[in-house]
Amino acid sequence: MAKVLSDIEIAQQTKLEPITAIAKQVGLTDDDLELYGKYKAKISFDAIKRLSKNEDGKLVLVTAITPTPAGEGKTLTTIGLAQALNYMGHKAVVALREPSLGPVFGIKGGAAGGGYSQVLPMEDINLHFTGDMHAITAANNLLAAAIDNHVHQGNALRIDVRRIIWKRVMDMNDRALRNVVVGMGGKVCGFPREDHFMITVASEIMAALCLASDLMDLKKRMGDITVAYDLDGNLVKARQLGVEGAMAILMKDAIKPNLVQTIEHTPALVHGGPFANIAHGCNSVVATKLAMKMGDIAVTEAGFGADLGAEKFMDIKCRFAGIKPDAVVIVATVRALKMHGGVDKKNLQEENVEALKKGFANLAKHIENMRLFDVPVVVGINKFISDTDEEIATLRKLCEDYGVEVALNNCWAEGGKGGVEMGEKVLKLLQQPKTPYKPLYDVNASIPEKLETIVKKVYGGDGVLFEGNAQKQIKELEAFGLDKMPICVAKTQYSLSDNPALRLHRCGLHRLPDEQYHDHAGPAESTGCQPHGHRRKWRHYGIVLRWILHNSNPCPSTGSWKSRLPRNPFPAAAASPL
């Protein structure tokens, strides 16, 4: 039996084309590129402006079932589908997110695809790439330093140091830095206070980058970020510190999309990388819209399952960008569905049709979720060596009985050739008349109405019960003008509920501990949308609400599950000596 090569062995054996040759495929010249070596480049905004006159290509969104440790292969499928479409004679471009060093050196590993469906050079992409993550880290921490320096230099804005909500970041997992005390060391080092570190991709700078149209728009968005409250309870924005211009200079190259290639030399834009469990989980608007101008078909992905990245793609990104996918691919694996059906990870190699049938409930819910947006759907079965013929046939039959197109995806082993069936099904969907954009909720609805819509329709909950300080917080958000915006829910990616242990489709919604709840009333986590060209006061994307869910009955099928927002983590402040 021939040796099965690892992803990195496959990548290193691939002969890459110069990035200038890849650029020519999509109408770019050498002058349009800023080279980062022989195989990576950034694309200038002069080129983007020129290509903007091209007609839009079709847009395909790739999402997935609820992820499991067994792996679903969403990035692999996104790359493989683009390769398959090119293999079939079409002009496809893939648009992906940039990997974060945290997951790369954590359990998850790299995020450049796998097998014969990878973006290359994968070592560079998974590590420092073109420096975008470092620029975001620097811009974020420049703002953090400016806040503490302002307080140290006399605090003219009367910032309440107990209500500074802007955190420092680094692009690495380091739990020891989650909660720290800064300002130690005496008078010259500032005022001691509790502070926190997050991973870089959780920064609002990342969210702003991925929704900005150009550098000046990004500068405006960063100026609108709320960083703290003053002693009177008013919002303090980055613009009041006069730091948004310096932040924009740090981001002057990061705003430009990155051009690389797949193993089969399909052009790939890899730009931006917010997580979908805390942010909106999509690559940059600039890159996605550019991919639609560069090819006949643009293939992109959204993070985690259809309840997170895909819902936010539709309700947040599409509102800002004025786009809508023409088709959606939901990635599923036999292994993951067996896990959702109750099989332990160590037993996934064994055939278990009954567990597969039980786990199909999770896939069915994600199909329902995408149908809410009136887009045609195809299920892409990402094939593993351990999958048996009976399991594959059973999953095909389950999908067909559910009225959804289904195709086998063997892109890991065969690259584009292994995705031809999936490509054919996608092309069939793309021939259907395009329907109007249909968001899940009206952005002008109230916060409770929007959150209840998401909980009921997407997560399968029974409703939302707001108690205690939740009503007070909502009124505060309304007073700040932060209520007429999309909602961006932060929750676990491992379940449709907030309990990662609950696997099936309508598993009730369990408790999230109070200390995990946070609600930022400003653009650090909650900001306004820009639908139909109308500019609102807040510019970034939506209200992030970590919500606690009350379990009144542990039965997944009959339980009454109510979601409940916990206490306000930012109580009204008393007078401060500062």
Q: Is 381 left (phi over 0), alpha (psi -120 to 50) or beta?
A: beta
Given this model, what pLDDT does residue 259 score? 98
Given this model, what pLDDT does residue 107 score? 77
* 497-520 mean pLDDT: 49
Which of 69-83, 384-398, 490-504, 529-543 is most confident? 384-398
The token duo for 447 is 């916060």
pLDDT bin (cut points 50, 70, 90) of residue 279 is confident
Q: By C-alpha distance, which of 551, 475, 550 is closest to 519? A: 475
Given this model, what pLDDT does residue 401 score? 95
Query: d(Cα 117, Cα 556) in Å, to the nearest integer?
Result: 38
Cβ proximity of 395 and 330 under 8 Å: no
Residue 200 has pLDDT above 50, yes or no: yes
Residue 275: phi and psi, rounded to 5, are -75, 150
How does strand 113-114 pair with strand 92-96? unpaired
The token duo for 331 is 């990635």
Cβ neighbours of 205 (radius 10 Å): 30
Q: What is the mean pLDDT of the chain?
A: 86
Q: Which residues contact 4 (CB under 8 A, 6 or more apart)?
A: none
Query: d(Cα 16, Cα 265) in Å, to the nearest integer?
Result: 7
Residue 553 has pLDDT above 60, yes or no: no
Q: Where are the beta strands (DSSP E) in 421-547?
A: 463-464, 487-489, 543-545
Cβ proximity of 63 and 301 under 8 Å: yes
Q: Is 115 left (phi over 0), alpha (psi -120 to 50) or beta?
A: left
Residue 137 has pLDDT above 50, yes or no: yes
Amino acid, res. 500: P
Given this model, what pLDDT does residue 371 score? 96
Model pLDDT for residues 13-24, shown as the tens digit of each residue: 999 999 999 999
Query: 484: helix, coil or strand?
Result: coil
The token duo for 500 is 């990662």
Query: d(Cα 108, Cα 117) in Å, to the nearest integer?
Result: 17
Cis omega before residue 577 (within 30°)? no
Model pLDDT for residues 251-262, shown as the tens digit of each residue: 999 999 999 999
Residue 511 has pLDDT above 50, yes or no: no
Tokens 């650090």 correspond to 524
pLDDT over 90 percentage in the chain: 74
Q: Is 304 left (phi over 0), alpha (psi -120 to 50) or beta?
A: left
Residue 521 has pLDDT above 60, yes or no: no
List the single range of 53-57, 112-116, 186-190, 561-565 with lowest mean pLDDT: 561-565
Q: Which residues contact 123 (CB under 8 A, 6 or more apart)?
A: 8, 11
In DSSP notation, 151-200 reads HHTT-TT-EEEEEE---EEESS--GGGSEEEES-SSGGG---EEEEEEEG
Cis omega before residue 69 (within 30°)? no
Query: d(Cα 273, Cα 280) in Å, to the nearest integer?
Result: 9
The token duo for 262 is 């797949």
Given this model, what pLDDT does residue 523 score? 30
471 Cα distance to chain centroid: 29
Q: By C-alpha distance, which of 202, 200, 242 is closest to 222? A: 242
Helix, strand, coil distribution of the chain in percent, nearest 5: 40, 15, 45
Cβ proximity of 459 and 444 under 8 Å: no
Model pLDDT for residues 23-67, shown as the tens digit of each residue: 999 999 999 999 999 999 999 999 999 999 999 999 999 999 998
